[in-house]
Structure 1
């Protein structure tokens, strides 16, 4: 399927132009053929008139001069042939140019006066014939058919030459027309290109909406897009404000419950109940955080955010090195300086923070972060040399509340948050084996 509007219009215009020219060529050839035949008829009529003016009758005998006014009849190699037949159809005179020709023609003296026709000889050669019947010649009664012939071959050669010139001319005209159409379409579609550039600026966040400097046919579309952008922006602001209010309203009750649980924990007889209460409070806090992250870190509609990847990874690694300073983790960063990720910075921090913290926590001594550009979509890989993840457990640990590490506290929602963020941006998360010996989390970004 052709997705380019310009190419579609060009193909449609070229198809119509070719059809038009294919219809015009036979019409022009037919018109020229008729005009050429009419010209030949007039020429032969003039030649017959020349023969009539030179003929005279004496004692009922036709006399013709040795030299005719029209010298073409007297030239041996001339293609203009002249004959005179009597009423009985007997040949009584022939021009000098007919000495080498054997023309099989029999006039019909039937009173029609003048006839222009085309005859074919037994050998396949064709001639144009102009036959004039006369009854008076030089003021005397006479009955003759005066005939002038011309080979059709010259006519066919002329038509063939014309056909070649027409094909060349129409081909050149078609090429020029297509070039002009391409230039015209490029100029006409410039408005769409300008609109595309403005949309790119909106996606990059450098402008808030589309301008009104567009053709009137596009103003309704740009207006609808601007209303959609404003509506989305306002909805996101309201959504984030509501989430902030919700987080603030739940923060105080959870703090109170946490304080109560700490007081209860000081009484030995209530220690077990205090641990259960603290566990549930921690679970509620993590669940609230998970739901808030899941709701707020969504792909931002029509607007694309471009965040430099390397500074974010370096910042997170510096923080995690302080947390896990006792492990002396070796970090290898294979990241180009100019690589960028189309995500909100908050979403990127949340995603990488969970994955890197998981790698630091489970590794033995080494963590590696790699960026691999590809025509199928760029890939970010975070690897460690830890125990890895069994193949039959890989799908399970990406589910909310599932975790394999029982030595460290947590509710197993970090990877679920990562999975939600990645999928909300059209990317794909896969879990495999690392060359370092541990797990490898690969994020395939959409093109």
Structure 2
């Protein structure tokens, strides 16, 4: 069985949400890296401006104060590094914080004013570098490169913390999004649940047609189903009326023939011909009755009927007890009193009536009717303590297309009607020995 439409849509939306989050993750990381590098550049530029403000030139030589305004440069344990190079790339000054560093960096004095870059040193690791060229210091001509640096490792923990938080935020956002999607789909599918409830009512027979109180997208479907329901209902009514008309039209000719046969039977010389004629009239009457019952007891294609078994069985047993009063038949029941059979009332009445009539007629005095629902099927058993059905006759009875009435003229058409009703409801009929000593008719109907 396929998954529900809501689950399929939810799975599709979940996949799209996950793909969106996966695409969003590198974009957010890239944006954070850009913002981080911009803040680092601004800080290093501010440090370089502090060095420029503290520097002065005397007799063409650079002079730096003993104590700089930015204490980070004077702290040996600090990670803020400062360097000053002349136009030839020679180091002319470095901060105390950089005394222990062995970086191989050479500025390019090429008139580019300033640049921000990242360098890698095999021993010291990676550094952010801000290099600004100075042509004038306090109004005097000068040519220096002011360089400030900071290790990349100082920001590594900040970046890792942001990435971890980003995973948590996106994960939480994904869960919230999926919850909102599920809520939205549940709310949006209320109309489908309403349509499904109305279809259940139509199948159970408590509603004739679907209402028009549905979204526009479903109105075409509901109108088509209503047209189908109306068409099926009208067709069934016309079919029943036609069958009734046929039965009435045939009843009179058969009665006339029956009267003629009785007149002929009064003459001794024609008694044998009258007997044959009466037998054929009886067979015609049985066949007409059989075909009428067979045609009128087909199940509906759209309506799913359910009938309580116990009250219907009470009515049948009361009638059969009067017919077979002298046998004093004991009826045993083994089923839940509230059990519902998945059949139309008329079909169940005809099927069970034929089975019980055979059981009452052939039993010695004991009949048992049992029913249960299991494995998605409704199972019904009718058993008796009579002579049973010979083994060599069972295949003929159960074989599709074989009927007892064609094998035994004048014996009735009950089993054939029972088989046709069962087949019209996609059921199965099994015939076997009963623990009571007679025959057991076991019927299985699928629960739709």
Is residue 426–residue 446 contact of structure 1 (8 Å, CA) maintained in 2? yes
1:108 equivalenced with 2:108 (yes/no): yes
**SS of the residue aligned with 2:374?**
coil
Equivalent residue number for residue 271 of structure 1: 271
Equivalent residue number for residue 139 of structure 1: 139
User: Residue 70 of structure 1: CA displacement?
Assistant: 1.2
**SS of the residue aligned with 1:285?**
helix
Is residue 205–residue 305 contact of structure 1 (8 Å, CA) maintained in 2? yes
What aligned pairs does 1:315-334 form with structure 2 within 5 A after superposition? Answer: 315-334=315-334
Structure 2 distance, partners of 1:131, 1:285, is: 115
What aligned pairs does 1:128-167 form with structure 2 within 5 A after superposition? Answer: 128-167=128-167
User: Residue 297 of structure 1: CA displacement?
Assistant: 0.6
Higher deviation after alignment, 73-82 or 281-290: 73-82
1:50 equivalenced with 2:87 (yes/no): no
User: Residue 391 of structure 1: CA displacement?
Assistant: 4.5
Structure 1 distance, partners of 2:386, 2:104, is: 108
Equivalent residue number for residue 403 of structure 2: 401
Cα deviation, 1:70-127, whole Å, max 9, x if unaligned, reads 1221222222111122333332222122233332322233333322111112137211
1:415 equivalenced with 2:415 (yes/no): yes
Equivalent residue number for residue 36 of structure 1: 36
User: Residue 400 of structure 1: CA displacement?
Assistant: 4.3
Structure 2 distance, partners of 1:74, 1:275, is: 136
Structure 1 distance, partners of 2:159, 2:364, is: 91
Structure 2 distance, partners of 1:301, 1:210, is: 16
Is residue 336–residue 372 contact of structure 2 (8 Å, CA) maintained in 1? no
Sort the Cα spacing of 1:339 and 1:95 in 2 relative to 1 into closer, same or farther, 3 A.
same
User: Residue 432 of structure 1: CA displacement?
Assistant: 2.8
Structure 1 distance, partners of 2:439, 2:123, is: 93
User: Residue 48 of structure 1: CA displacement?
Assistant: 0.7
Q: Once superposed, what is the RMSD of the aligned Cα atoms?
A: 2.2
Higher deviation after alignment, 134-143 or 304-313: 134-143
User: Residue 2 of structure 1: CA displacement?
Assistant: 4.0
Is residue 89–residue 108 contact of structure 1 (8 Å, CA) maintained in 2? yes
User: Residue 442 of structure 1: CA displacement?
Assistant: 1.6
Structure 2 distance, partners of 1:17, 1:34, is: 26
Sort the Cα spacing of 1:115 and 1:333 in 2 relative to 1 into closer, same or farther, 3 A.
same
User: Residue 248 of structure 1: CA displacement?
Assistant: 0.8
Equivalent residue number for residue 7 of structure 1: 7
Equivalent residue number for residue 189 of structure 1: 189
Is residue 2–residue 8 contact of structure 1 (8 Å, CA) maintained in 2? no
Higher deviation after alignment, 225-234 or 428-437: 428-437
Equivalent residue number for residue 358 of structure 2: 358
**SS of the residue aligned with 1:445?**
strand
Sort the Cα spacing of 1:240 and 1:52 in 2 relative to 1 into closer, same or farther, 3 A.
same
User: Residue 220 of structure 1: CA displacement?
Assistant: 2.0
Cα deviation, 1:49-75, whole Å, max 9, x if unaligned, reads 111111122233322112111122122
Cα deviation, 1:1-50, whole Å, max 9, x if unaligned, reads 74412112222222222222221221121122112112211211111111
Sort the Cα spacing of 1:127 and 1:24 in 2 relative to 1 into closer, same or farther, 3 A.
same
Is residue 283–residue 410 contact of structure 2 (8 Å, CA) maintained in 1? no
Higher deviation after alignment, 18-27 or 382-391: 382-391
Is residue 240–residue 296 contact of structure 1 (8 Å, CA) maintained in 2? yes
What aligned pairs does 1:38-437 form with structure 2 within 5 A after superposition? Answer: 38-123=38-123, 125-398=125-398, 399-402=401-404, 409-411=410-412, 413-437=413-437
TM-score, normalised relative to structure 1: 0.93
Gaps spanning 5+ residues in structure 2: where?
none
**SS of the residue aligned with 2:431?**
strand
Structure 2 distance, partners of 1:124, 1:19, is: 39
User: Residue 203 of structure 1: CA displacement?
Assistant: 2.1
Is residue 306–residue 343 contact of structure 2 (8 Å, CA) maintained in 1? yes
Cα deviation, 1:114-151, whole Å, max 9, x if unaligned, reads 22111112137211111122233333333322211111
Cα deviation, 1:266-324, whole Å, max 9, x if unaligned, reads 33333322222222111111110110011111112322322211111122123223333
Sort the Cα spacing of 1:93 and 1:50 in 2 relative to 1 into closer, same or farther, 3 A.
same
Cα deviation, 1:323-382, whole Å, max 9, x if unaligned, reads 333433322111211111232221111100111122223333322111112132121111
Structure 1 distance, partners of 2:62, 2:403, is: 126
Cα deviation, 1:387-433, whole Å, max 9, x if unaligned, reads 33345532311444336996x9514x321211111121232222233
User: Residue 234 of structure 1: CA displacement?
Assistant: 1.3
User: Residue 258 of structure 1: CA displacement?
Assistant: 1.9
Cα deviation, 1:202-251, whole Å, max 9, x if unaligned, reads 22222222222222222222222222222111111111111001011111
